Amino acid sequence: MRIIYSILIAATILNGQNVPFADRTTTLNVPKQTGNYGTAVADYNNDGYEDIFISNVPNLAGTDTSHCVLLRNNAGENFTDVTAAAGMKVFGSFKCGIWGDVNNDGYPDLFMAESFQHGRSHLMINKKDGTFRDVAVSGINYQALASTAAFGDYDNDGRLDLFIATEFPEYDLLYRNISVGDSILFTDVSTEAGIGGFSSTASMQATFIDIDHDGDLDLYAVHDGFLPSSLFRNNGDGTFSDISFQTGLHDYGAGNSMGVYWKDFDFDGWEEVYITRIGKGGLYKRQPDGKYLNIADTVAADFNGMTWGVVWEDFDNDADDDLFMVSTYGHSSVGSLYYENTGGSYLERSKEYGINYPHAFYGLAYGDFNNDGYLDLVASATDGKNVLLINTQKRTGKWITITLTGTTVNRMAVGSSVRLLAGGRRQLRTVTAGNSYASGMSHRLHFGLGSIPLIDTLQILWSNGSIQTFTGLAVNTHYRLTQNGSLLTNADRAKEVHAPKQFRLHQNFPNPFNPATSIQFSIPQDGHVSLEVFDLLGRLVRTVTDEVRSAGQYTERLNLTGLASGLYLYRLRFGERSEVRKLMLLQ
């Protein structure tokens, strides 16, 4: 049985309660190194399993050799550090990395934000083969000191634009994407758009959000110290107007605003926003007149430490949204916090559940790393104590997920929303690219449903204004939708995508390897297939698979632990056809 799933059996019960998460950092091969900052989740290789990027700020004295890390999810079993193999091991001090498909080829690219002049920022374009190319000239000022970044298609032209929140004393930057195919190009529109802000401010986190639901993305940025937050309303003509004071979202509360997360937690059809701070966080609810009121204390969700990353999602699938936050423990002796939604108000239960981690956390993101419909978490810490939390809730709550792919809107569908009606309750989710603190969430939207047995209506609100509606949908299902297409399940997609026209054996990746690698092959029709590994004397050393399979494309994991370093052969046989390739084991 897979390692991740086996934790369900081993889940511990404290005080008669179901422990929501189990720490599987070491078991699943998530590295621990100092200097980790933000974290971002995306399925960068389109294998159906979500991967992790952790940004890193090495020791400023130059004695630390730590670096950013790209972790490939091995079909829900564990993770492999592929940073060097993917071409992502670059020099610098990066507070955040944000995924976004800037060239609309269906594969996520990554912007790495340099913060301390140890190097420069990087735009890494996905080559669709597990590696990335560094675009050195793109119109982006890679020398600007960036605290965080966010992608969003503010002009609705189908291409993701880039906002960079800069460190003092620079002005913030907005870049319009004018790329054509593989020719990557951005142009600086900060001044004409009117979003530069003030050079005396240091934006901690920025998010694109259509706050007024008028069909174009607005921009919200919070700042360090006791400086007002900024809400820039999109005027629809390439310019923005600062309406933060008009809406009440200028409020900095207890000061030192850090993390941001938007969510319609009260099901009124409008997003609220949670902001982490030092001492007391803020939860701002939209009022009928369009202004926002801080109700964090009213719903008992105001207590913070020196709190940074935040995720506001339904972790127990009971159809309401819980809060998980991470803090820098050494500042106020407050660790990670878990606010469980108890019918519209919150109960902080991290110590009760044993998940009050006393680490120097900054970044936090969610993903469903084992595809079980229950959300997991990854938190990054500068003291080297990263934490990967696998969800261990009792599997009583129902759920669905949906992954959107744009055609006329940007391919990643950033800014598009899904409205779900089930059991008399209406939920709203939006695809984002940059939130929490210096982090990025999964682009797969998740809905917890409680005991609801059927989805009444699922409505997709594409960012260009078009709408698709589906009714009577099954629960506990991963859905996929390409704009203007049919709604598919993961099983449907597998049949559609993995229907190859030829027999083929691919080169293993990574190669060389130690001790595990992946081998991909395809068969054009149903039949008996065998995949075997031999030494150079022709002796069989491993049988990877030997069975009847349906037509499709497959990826198998091969582990050669216990064998000597050297060259080996692997052979795929299907009917009367066979193909042989070489692989190199380096112990």
Q: In a 3-state reduction of DSSP, which class is residue 190?
A: helix
Task: Write the Ramachandran bin of 131: left for phi over 0, alpha for psi from -120 to 50, otherwise beta.
Answer: beta
Residues 114 and 197 reside in one and the same domain: yes
- Alpha carbon distances (Å) from 289 to 212, 246, 426, 443: 12, 11, 21, 31
Kindly indicate the confidence band of residue 147, based on its pLDDT and cuts at 50, 70 and 90: confident
258 part of a folded domain: yes
> pLDDT digit string (tens) for 337-390?
999 999 889 999 999 998 999 999 999 999 999 999 999 999 999 888 899 999
How far is residue 349's CA from residue 335's CA, in Å, rounded to a whole number?
Answer: 12
Kindly indicate the confidence band of residue 60, based on its pLDDT and cuts at 50, 70 and 90: very low
Residues 541 and 419 reside in one and the same domain: no
Q: What's the chain's average pLDDT? A: 89
Residues 388 and 257 reside in one and the same domain: yes
434 part of a folded domain: no
Kindly indicate the confidence band of residue 35, based on its pLDDT and cuts at 50, 70 and 90: confident
Residues 49 and 191 reside in one and the same domain: yes
Give 570's Cβ-side CA count (13 Å radius). Answer: 27
Within 10 Å of residue 193's Cβ, how many Cβ atoms? 22
Kindly indicate the confidence band of residue 67, based on its pLDDT and cuts at 50, 70 and 90: confident
Per-residue pLDDT, 11: 38
Residue ending a domain, choose from 497, 522, 554: 497
Q: In a 3-state reduction of DSSP, which class is residue 20?
A: coil
Kindly indicate the confidence band of residue 7, based on its pLDDT and cuts at 50, 70 and 90: very low
Residue ending a domain, choose from 497, 525, 556: 497
What is the domain extent for residue 552? 501-585
Residues 87 and 36 reside in one and the same domain: yes
Kindly indicate the confidence band of residue 399, based on its pLDDT and cuts at 50, 70 and 90: very high
Per-residue pLDDT, 492: 66
Q: Is the pLDDT of residue 259 over 70?
A: yes
Q: Exposure string (b/e) for 161-191, b if CB count within 10 Å is 16 or more? A: bbbbbbbeebebbbbbbebeeeebbbeebbe
Kindly indicate the confidence band of residue 32, based on its pLDDT and cuts at 50, 70 and 90: confident
Give 344's Cβ-side CA count (13 Å radius). Answer: 6
Q: Is the pLDDT of residue 496 over 70?
A: no
How far is residue 397's CA from residue 452's CA, in Å, rounded to a whole number?
Answer: 8
Please report which helix (H) or strand (E) contains residue 246, including its range. Answer: helix 244-247
Q: Who contacts 30 (Cβ-Cβ below 8 Å, separation ≥6)?
A: 52, 71, 79, 378, 386, 388
Q: Is residue 70 a contact partner of residue 96, using CB atoms and an 8 Å limit?
A: no
Residue ending a domain, choose from 463, 497, 531: 497
Q: Is residue 201 a contact partner of residue 168, using CB atoms and an 8 Å limit?
A: yes
How far is residue 505's CA from residue 250's CA, in Å, rounded to a whole number?
Answer: 58
Kindly indicate the confidence band of residue 34, based on its pLDDT and cuts at 50, 70 and 90: confident
Kindly indicate the confidence band of residue 1, based on its pLDDT and cuts at 50, 70 and 90: very low
Q: Is residue 462 a contact partner of residue 468, using CB atoms and an 8 Å limit?
A: yes
Per-residue pLDDT, 461: 96
Weakest mean pLDDT among 154-168, 272-286, 313-327, 449-463: 154-168
Residues 524 and 483 reside in one and the same domain: no
> pLDDT digit string (tens) for 79-128?
999 999 999 998 888 899 999 999 999 999 999 998 876 678 999 999 99
Q: Who contacts 100 (Cβ-Cβ below 8 Å, separation ≥6)?
A: 108, 109, 110, 111, 151, 160, 162, 412, 414, 433
* Residues above pLDDT 90, as percent of the chain: 67
Per the omega criterion (within 30 degrees of 0), is the bond before 515 cis? yes
3 part of a folded domain: no
Residues 153 and 194 reside in one and the same domain: yes
Q: Is residue 350 a contact partner of residue 340, using CB atoms and an 8 Å limit?
A: no
Residues 474 and 541 reside in one and the same domain: no
Kindly indicate the confidence band of residue 553, based on its pLDDT and cuts at 50, 70 and 90: confident
Q: Is the pLDDT of residue 166 over 90?
A: no
How far is residue 122's CA from residue 90's CA, in Å, rounded to a whole number?
Answer: 9
DSSP state of 137: -
Please report which helix (H) or strand (E) contains residue 353, including its range. Answer: helix 350-353
CATH number of the domain residue 183 falls in = 2.130.10.10
How far is residue 177's CA from residue 395's CA, in Å, rounded to a whole number?
Answer: 43
How far is residue 124's CA from residue 330's CA, in Å, rounded to a whole number?
Answer: 34
Kindly indicate the confidence band of residue 65, based on its pLDDT and cuts at 50, 70 and 90: low
Rg (CA), the chain: 24
Q: Is the pLDDT of residue 408 over 70?
A: yes
Weakest mean pLDDT among 176-185, 332-341, 543-552, 576-585: 543-552
Q: Which amino acid is at 108?
A: P
Per-residue pLDDT, 8: 37
Per-residue pLDDT, 44: 96
> pLDDT digit string (tens) for 170-207?
788 999 999 987 789 999 999 999 987 665 567 789 99
CATH number of the domain residue 558 falls in = 2.60.40.2550
Mean pLDDT of 479-484: 92
Kindly indicate the confidence band of residue 486, based on its pLDDT and cuts at 50, 70 and 90: confident
Q: In a 3-state reduction of DSSP, which class is residue 191?
A: helix
> pLDDT digit string (tens) for 291-333?
999 999 999 999 999 999 999 999 999 999 999 999 998 888 8
Q: Which amino acid is at 46?
A: N
How far is residue 393's CA from residue 313's CA, in Å, rounded to a whole number?
Answer: 14
Kindly indicate the confidence band of residue 6, based on its pLDDT and cuts at 50, 70 and 90: very low
Kindly indicate the confidence band of residue 4, based on its pLDDT and cuts at 50, 70 and 90: very low
Residues 345 and 364 reside in one and the same domain: yes
Residues 379 and 303 reside in one and the same domain: yes
Q: Please give the structure tokens belonging to residue 83.
A: 């940073």
Residues 362 and 488 reside in one and the same domain: no
Closest CA to 478 of 373, 583, 389, 391: 373
Q: Residues 116, 44, 393, 11: is their CA dihedral positive or negative? A: negative
344 part of a folded domain: yes
Residues 561 and 458 reside in one and the same domain: no
Q: In a 3-state reduction of DSSP, which class is residue 391?
A: strand
Kindly indicate the confidence band of residue 494, based on its pLDDT and cuts at 50, 70 and 90: low
Q: In a 3-state reduction of DSSP, which class is residue 45?
A: coil
7 part of a folded domain: no
Q: Domain tally for the chain? A: 3
Per-residue pLDDT, 64: 59
418 part of a folded domain: yes
Largest Cα separation within the chain, whole Å, is 79
Vertex 146, ends 110 and 229: CA angle to 5°?
A: 110
How far separated are the first and last CA of the chain, in Å rounded?
26
19 part of a folded domain: no
More confident residue, 15 or 357: 357
How far is residue 224's CA from residue 278's CA, in Å, rounded to a whole number?
Answer: 10
Q: In a 3-state reduction of DSSP, which class is residue 552?
A: strand
H helices of 48-206, in order, are 190-193
437 part of a folded domain: no
